[in-house]
Structure 1
Amino acid sequence: MAPNLSLLESYRARPSQSLRDHLHGVATNAEQLVPADAESAYGDDWQTVMRALAWTHDAGKLTTYFQQYLESGERSHAPRDEHTYHGFVSALLAAHVLYSLDVSAAMRTAGFYAVARHHGVLPTVVAAHEEYAGNGSKVDSQYDAPRAQLQDIKQNAAPAGNALVTAASNGQLEWDGVLVDTPATYQKLLVDPKKLDEQFYETLLRAWSTLVCADKLDAAEIALPEGAQRPELERLRTTVAGLPAGKTPLEQTLNQLRSTAHEESYQQLLTSHREGDRLFQIELPTGFGKTLTGLRAALELAEQRNSRAIYALPYTSILDQVDDVCQEYLDVDPLSDRYTVHHHLADTRTTATESKEGTVVNDGSEALYAETWQAGLVLTTFTQLFESVAGPGNTQAMKIPALQDSVIILDEPQGIALEWWSLVGRLAAFLTREYDTTIIMMTATQPQIFEQAPSLPSPTSLTTVTDECVSFLESNPRVTFNLHDSTAGYLAGDDSSTLSYETAAETLSEMTTDGTTTLAIANTIESAATLTDTVFDHSRPCETTISLGADLEAFHQSSSLNVEDMTDEAAEAYLEFVSDGLATAGDGTVVVTLTTQLRPRDRKLLLAALRRLLDSEISTPFEGWSVMTISTQLIEAGVDVSFDRLYRDFAPVPALVQAAGRCNREFSGSTSPVTVWRLASANDATTVPPSELIYGQRSLLRPARQALASLQAEHGAAIPEAELISTGVKAYYGELHHQRRTSERSDRLVEHFNSAAGEPLRNASLIEDDYATQDVVLLCSTEDRQRYEEYQNLREAGKFSTAKTVFEELKPLVVTLRVDSDAGQSDQLLMRDAREATVEYDTVSGRGIGSSRSE
């Protein structure tokens, strides 16, 4: 007999919703989030399991304790506060229901923790097991509250309780079978996690994240779509097919290689996927069309599978350019239900979200829905992706169900922190097995992460033209890598061989003349800022040298243009603003300094202005001027700019290759020089060079030293481009993996994953800092101050959903600062006003505020 669910109507899940409606809604959502034929690693039917968890997760709300608390907002009427909580008692009922359904012992245990923590985060399960099922009076006393709660339901809500457990168990359990007076007996249903295998945490992650997502969506009254709403793929197909073949023989050959890679990549992906492959790679040199090639391949497979594509990158600083490509070639809006841009500084919302009643939602639920990654195309960072899969917070967990059948592009995977490489391989095994996810590694310098993972097959290559592209570069080199004397000395064994900033600045000034363009990439913010200062200290009195960032604050104060929405227009206006303020006419040098310490709004404007200065087809007030750009690593991957020459502080080989991709991208004229030098310390407090501070003498620099020394022995100080991107990269990664014994060593993060240690995984970060940091919103204009005041007023008024929406507009003003660890960090967003005498925000480099000087 079907359960009489109307008995649950008189109980409230929340003031605005009955318990019956909520449990039914969560069950419906969970059913949509899990494929009909999906089985767990232990052979359990996921639909059956999630139905059980959905119907039991709020069972504790049937108590008079909770219902009175919901009505009054007070817990004082209950014997103890714990009597009004519902997670633990609901989890015990969930375990019993799963037992009645004859699921595996591992799934029973996973289901218990999923329900117990559905409003929280996953624990380290070994420790939690001692809490719930250990020996001693403290553990026994924990069951006093569930006993009282179950007895209360028996006395006051038994018919409703019977309807609930009957619905959850498909009729296999009734309320009379519940251990009302002896709930501690349920400890026996929980398996000691030490006896569980490596797939337990995978199972727990899926059960918990699905329940969390289903629960939050129903509470926000958001209806799940019927399948992913993807961008119109035909637009991308048509646009790519219409790209010009090229005017010169060189352009024609280059574009033919790009076209071949593009076509065969998506075709090979579809074919190999049908044959069972799930791991792939696209390896092409910079400038050979990887972005469109990977995007097309992923969307073709996503369309075939009625799923979504997730495009992940290492840095937010290069994500904007891929966003521009997506919007241009796919005609998508980041706020639509087809496309989501998700990183910590993005305005991550999905507008026009329909509620279950069909009305449009325009409150904080827009951001909540975007967190679920239900869009057909998601652009995000490695941090958002991998931290959400490994050790997610409660809201982060909402995106995990969307990984089902998805196609994930990992663009520039060498940017993944070395300490995470083994875990990323483990996560790939989890996602491909549990969620049938497809993963594409895409870069010019493959780091061989999957090849070194013991449980993974080698990725299938999607293109056959990689060697042809290298051969093309042998015949038509864009750059030559020149080893500076400071680097040559270091390769020869002299650790003290460095270059002073005075000499480096003089070289940059001498080489950046007569309308030429130069890029110098430093390894730290302090190094970039010091190099900038030294360039101005040594500028020739007879020449005009200006900093493009110096007028940013004045421009923001005078302009009403929205940099985020009207970037090109703002960049054009800013160049005019800077030009109008010049005291003298004539040519000179524009110096552009880019660091991550600049506010995102300022960095975005400077990059847009720089692109205009470098584009020969765009007229600017600085025609005939030379352009010198001094940047940290933020510019070296994915930023579509091209310079006449490049200077790169010593770094791992892949970083040198990526940097060179910002030089002579269009194969114009003669081969351009890429000089690799080794800058001295920029800090009086240490003699350690910036390269060593960032990359470490042993971990990343030793294999770079060996690979470059080997190439130097064969080619001398001038290393051909094709040699470095092929032989050099392979030698570097071969030595790196040999040095780390990657395939043999145990890995701390992998051990945490395999042992279901939720807490250390949640605390692990892809962005490892050796110092404490603090997010600060930096106000420079009247509009900034008005927006911040609005945000504060909304928070003080308790209007947190609206305040969160306003905060999205403040994100482009947020910088992350180094702070004194003794002073501690604040959980609140701090504010600094550029008008204050104590705030020194240097818009040239971002240096000054908070005395933050490290990258």
Structure 2
Amino acid sequence: MFDFYAHSSESADKSGWQPLLEHLNNVARRAEEFAEVFGAGSWGRCAGLLHDAGKATQAFTARLEGSPARVDHSTFGARLARDRLGRLGLLISYVIVGHHGGLPDGGVQEGELHFRLKNGKIPPDVDLLPGIEFPGELSPPFKLPKDRTAFSLAFFTRMVFSCLVDADFLDTEAFCTPEKARLRTQPDGAVLLGSLQQRLNEFLLEKARSAPPTPVNTLRQAILAQCREKAPLPRGFFSLTVPTGGGKTFSSLAFALDHAVAHGLRRVIYAIPFTSIIEQNAREFQKALGEDSVLEHHCNYKESEDAEDEAYHRRRGLAAENWDAPVVVTTNVQFFESLFSNKTSRCRKLHNIAGSVIVLDEAQAIPTEYLEACLAALRELVERYGCTVVLCTATQPALDDQSSLRMALPQVQEIMDDPQRLYQGLQRTAVRFVGKLCDEDLTAQLVGELQVLCIVSTRAHARALFEKARQALGETEGLYHLSTNMYPVHRRRVLDEIRARLKEKPPCRVISTSLVEAGVDLDFPVVYRAMAGLDSIAQAAGRCNREGRLSHKGRVVVFEALNPPRMPWVRRCASRAGETLRALPDADPLGLEAMRRYFHLLYDAEDLDKKQILSLLNPKLDQDLIWPFRETARLFRFIEDETIGVIIPIEPQARALVQELRYTQFPRTTLRKLQQYTVGVRSREYAALGAAGALELIHGEFPLLCNEAAYRPEVGLCAEGGEVWNPEDLCI
């Protein structure tokens, strides 16, 4: 084995090359350490020892010396795992075969696991690894559930895969790019959650001192106190049902940190469905805990420009690869799609989820067609990987409803003692349903208000109403439009201007899509909302009299558009809301009783596992242990019709980045920065912009808006192509 190598260097005499046995042992130690968190250290060690066993051949040495011949270096280790580790050794076979190209499907077609095991070419001179001891037959480190044995084993395979690929990446990085590996260690060492707990205590104490003694702030303090009181409870599933404006963001963070410290957990992961929330929450958490302690991971992320040096930026990027940070703020898309991915880049972080507190903010926003698969994954994390999950929302989505959900969450503990009383104490609005309104009548009512927010379901409708309001007013002073047709920097600038006008109390009329509904700190006396699901209406109501400063209740007016949106999901939510209100005519339409009934009706459907993910991953197993890992990853996509990002080069910063993009050899970093100046468009809009000659493709693949007239400062990108809807501004 000492005559074989894992990686080469520039030294011609091979003195600086990495011996294969050294690499295998290094990876085995790391993978064992990672997997030991969930009791599977021997699995991680076996995967590490065998993953590159096929490099013990003269053919691979020749490749390191410059031979162009390709060498299959993974099949040999996969066969050894199958033959020497018992029946479940096939799980290690999946992991080894996939440690570069991703977990394969398990069938007998070309490229699939059993095809590779049967037909993979093993060089005749491959070394049989003298000195490596096998543990004999492997067994799972936990009891498997009878109703989803196959699903649990598939999930376990993906977790062991994560341990191996992260260990392999880290050891390869340490040898090939040691300067990069050194950046992974923070200058002051790892930040302990206990120290972050103390920083949060100080931050919250100062926040309480500076807050005016209003009834709303008094209730917020009571909510925070209950969260901290319940934090020592045993690990498991929790719900935090707090009305909008109740301060649940910091209260849930306090519970998560206190709970993690009480139970010796490793990190806090905050998963958020909406771009508007993730950027705001991450900034608030960084103020409280320090910028180095909070990793923000999503497609629109941009490091602050006043960061000290380039090394800081690179450390943050490296931490995002495997979530090696004490507090991670990410998106539902990133979190759940990684749990069902087969790719090395996405799965690499999974082992760091084990032993964490996972806060699902706005839990009701999990796409219904993937709900049962998501619930099954959450159950695995809690029951077998030492996690705690907190469902944090103003509109609790009844995920424990045994009558309508096959994968209903067991024993969900509510953190608040009396959510109904809390809801009544924070009730600051009166909701009125007015039936159908044409755009002309709606516009007349909006311009008749001094300060008003109107939320509709489509970008096309928002733009049309804005144009009508401008015509009615004869000006745009104090009139604003918000939608994802505006790039993120533009949206934030408009939101800041809106907040300033609301404080100064001049006219302020805003027409928006649903992107303002969750987590955006706006406070209007009057809110109009197009008919939608009760959860959306409740979120819209959270932008009305948010701080309780009015002497009366804020007004929330729910109307039906004459031309309702065509999207089936929006129609379904509105229909179920109507059924709920008819069934409970005397109930508060946004109260807990109505909300639970609404979600019961919404979830009573056959499409809670629309892509049959559970069926694919929970088959009746035979001796071949076949799972379609690659096919599952292809199907499990929260955003199926992905948008195409068009760069808007209007601002000087954007133009400078575009110039950098034109000439850089490494566009990824520049593209990440340009996300702040990018608008996502659907395929029809993209085709229309292309046909109009409004696009330039940089390097043949990065779309740039070359006709700036197509982007208007009031409404953003104006692309023809029909109705486009981005209901919750999901990001990846």
TM-score (normalizing by structure 2)? 0.85
Number of residue pairs the alignment of both structures matches: 677
Write out per-residue CA displacement over residues 502-548 of structure 1, whole angstroms, 9 at most, x where no aligned residue: 22112111123xxxx210001011111111111112224xxxx32xx
CA contact (8 A) 2:105 2:112 kept: no
The Cα of 1:370 is off from its aligned counterpart by 1.9
User: What stretches of structure 1 of length at least 5 have no aligned partner?
Assistant: 1-6, 40-45, 76-80, 174-194, 354-359, 487-498, 547-588, 617-623, 682-688, 716-721
Q: 1:204 to 1:843 in 2, by over 3 A?
A: same
The answer to whether 1:527 aligns with 2:461 is: yes
CA contact (8 A) 1:55 1:168 kept: no
Alignment of 1:456-605 (within 5 A): 456-473=409-426, 477-486=427-436, 499-512=437-450, 517-540=451-474, 545-546=475-476, 589-605=477-493
Question: For 2:72 and 2:398, how far apart are their aligned partners in 1?
Answer: 48
Write out per-residue CA displacement over residues 809-835 of structure 1, whole angstroms, 9 at most, x where no aligned residue: 21212221111499799997522234x
Helix, strand or coil at the partner of 1:408: strand
One-letter identity of the residue aligned with 2:281: V
Helix, strand or coil at the partner of 1:815: strand
Write out per-residue CA displacement over residues 681-732 of structure 1, whole angstroms, 9 at most, x where no aligned residue: 3xxxxxxx12x526343x3222111122345x438xxxxxx55222321221
The answer to whether 1:652 aligns with 2:533 is: yes
Question: For 1:112 and 1:348, how far apart are their aligned partners in 2?
Answer: 40
Question: For 1:701 and 1:529, how far apart are their aligned partners in 2?
Answer: 22
The Cα of 1:364 is off from its aligned counterpart by 6.1
Helix, strand or coil at the partner of 2:129: helix
Question: For 2:589 and 2:574, how far apart are their aligned partners in 1?
Answer: 19
Helix, strand or coil at the partner of 2:390: strand
The answer to whether 1:267 aligns with 2:229 is: yes
Equivalence for 2:716: 846
Q: 1:352 to 1:632 in 2, by over 3 A?
A: closer
Helix, strand or coil at the partner of 1:639: coil
Equivalence for 1:608: 496
Equivalence for 1:405: 355
* Higher Cα Rg, which structure: 1
One-letter identity of the residue aligned with 2:150: D
Equivalence for 2:676: 812
Choose from 417, 420, 444 the match for 2:367. Answer: 417
The answer to whether 1:794 aligns with 2:675 is: no
One-letter identity of the residue aligned with 1:216: F
Question: For 1:741 and 1:794, how far apart are their aligned partners in 2?
Answer: 46
Alignment of 1:308-457 (within 5 A): 308-330=267-289, 332-333=290-291, 336=292, 338-347=293-302, 367-451=317-401, 452-454=405-407, 456-457=409-410
CA contact (8 A) 2:439 2:561 kept: yes
Equivalence for 1:833: 705
Question: For 1:245 and 1:348, how far apart are their aligned partners in 2?
Answer: 31
CA contact (8 A) 1:389 1:400 kept: yes
Equivalence for 2:521: 640
Q: 1:387 to 1:375 in 2, by over 3 A?
A: same
The Cα of 1:132 is off from its aligned counterpart by 4.7
CA contact (8 A) 2:481 2:510 kept: yes
Moved more, 19-28 or 809-818: 19-28
Equivalence for 1:25: 26
CA contact (8 A) 2:269 2:358 kept: yes
Equivalence for 1:237: 201
Equivalence for 2:63: 69
One-letter identity of the residue aligned with 1:121: G
CA contact (8 A) 2:79 2:117 kept: no
Question: For 1:430 and 1:767, how far apart are their aligned partners in 2?
Answer: 20
Question: For 2:438 and 2:108, how far apart are their aligned partners in 1?
Answer: 54
Equivalence for 1:93: 80
Helix, strand or coil at the partner of 1:648: strand
One-letter identity of the residue aligned with 1:526: A
Helix, strand or coil at the partner of 2:710: coil
Q: 1:14 to 1:595 in 2, by over 3 A?
A: farther
The Cα of 1:366 is off from its aligned counterpart by 5.2
The answer to whether 1:60 aligns with 2:54 is: yes
One-letter identity of the residue aligned with 1:501: D
The answer to whether 1:110 aligns with 2:75 is: no
Helix, strand or coil at the partner of 1:485: strand
Question: For 2:686 and 2:719, how far apart are their aligned partners in 1?
Answer: 18
Q: 1:747 to 1:830 in 2, by over 3 A?
A: closer
CA contact (8 A) 1:228 1:306 kept: no
CA contact (8 A) 2:679 2:717 kept: no
Q: 1:670 to 1:245 in 2, by over 3 A?
A: farther
Equivalence for 2:546: 665
Equivalence for 1:709: 582
Cα RMSD, aligned residues only: 3.4
Question: For 2:576 and 2:700, how far apart are their aligned partners in 1?
Answer: 42
Question: For 1:823 and 1:247, how far apart are their aligned partners in 2?
Answer: 51
CA contact (8 A) 1:818 1:850 kept: no
Question: For 1:695 and 1:832, how far apart are their aligned partners in 2?
Answer: 32
CA contact (8 A) 2:534 2:589 kept: no
Equivalence for 2:632: 761
CA contact (8 A) 2:106 2:113 kept: no
Equivalence for 2:103: 122
Q: 1:361 to 1:288 in 2, by over 3 A?
A: closer
Equivalence for 1:620: none
Question: For 2:607 and 2:673, how far apart are their aligned partners in 1?
Answer: 46
Helix, strand or coil at the partner of 1:67: helix
Helix, strand or coil at the partner of 1:675: strand
User: What stretches of structure 2 of length at least 5 have no aligned partner?
Assistant: 11-16, 138-147, 175-180, 620-626, 691-696, 726-732
Question: For 2:205 and 2:685, how far apart are their aligned partners in 1?
Answer: 55
Equivalence for 1:152: 125
Question: For 2:547 and 2:642, how far apart are their aligned partners in 1?
Answer: 42
Helix, strand or coil at the partner of 1:759: helix
Question: For 1:822 and 1:626, how far apart are their aligned partners in 2?
Answer: 36
The Cα of 1:210 is off from its aligned counterpart by 1.0
Write out per-residue CA displacement over residues 445-498 of structure 1, whole angstroms, 9 at most, x where no aligned residue: 11112433446313111120312212324xxx4111111131xxxxxxxxxxxx
Identity in percent: 24
CA contact (8 A) 1:364 1:804 kept: no
Write out per-residue CA displacement over residues 122-148 of structure 1, whole angstroms, 9 at most, x where no aligned residue: 2332456995546xxx985x24x21xx
Equivalence for 2:170: 217
The Cα of 1:427 is off from its aligned counterpart by 0.7
Helix, strand or coil at the partner of 2:452: strand
Question: For 2:173 and 2:319, how far apart are their aligned partners in 1?
Answer: 9
CA contact (8 A) 1:314 1:412 kept: yes
Question: For 2:307 and 2:284, how far apart are their aligned partners in 1?
Answer: 24
Q: 1:457 to 1:196 in 2, by over 3 A?
A: closer
Equivalence for 2:594: 728
Helix, strand or coil at the partner of 2:68: coil
Q: 1:821 to 1:595 in 2, by over 3 A?
A: closer
Question: For 2:162 and 2:67, how far apart are their aligned partners in 1?
Answer: 28
Write out per-residue CA displacement over residues 192-219 of structure 1, whole angstroms, 9 at most, x where no aligned residue: xxx9733220121112111111111222
Question: For 1:626 and 1:112, how far apart are their aligned partners in 2?
Answer: 66
Q: 1:105 to 1:283 in 2, by over 3 A?
A: same
Write out per-residue CA displacement over residues 549-583 of structure 1, whole angstroms, 9 at most, x where no aligned residue: xxxxxxxxxxxxxxxxxxxxxxxxxxxxxxxxxxx
Q: 1:123 to 1:850 in 2, by over 3 A?
A: farther
Question: For 2:674 and 2:440, how far apart are their aligned partners in 1?
Answer: 39
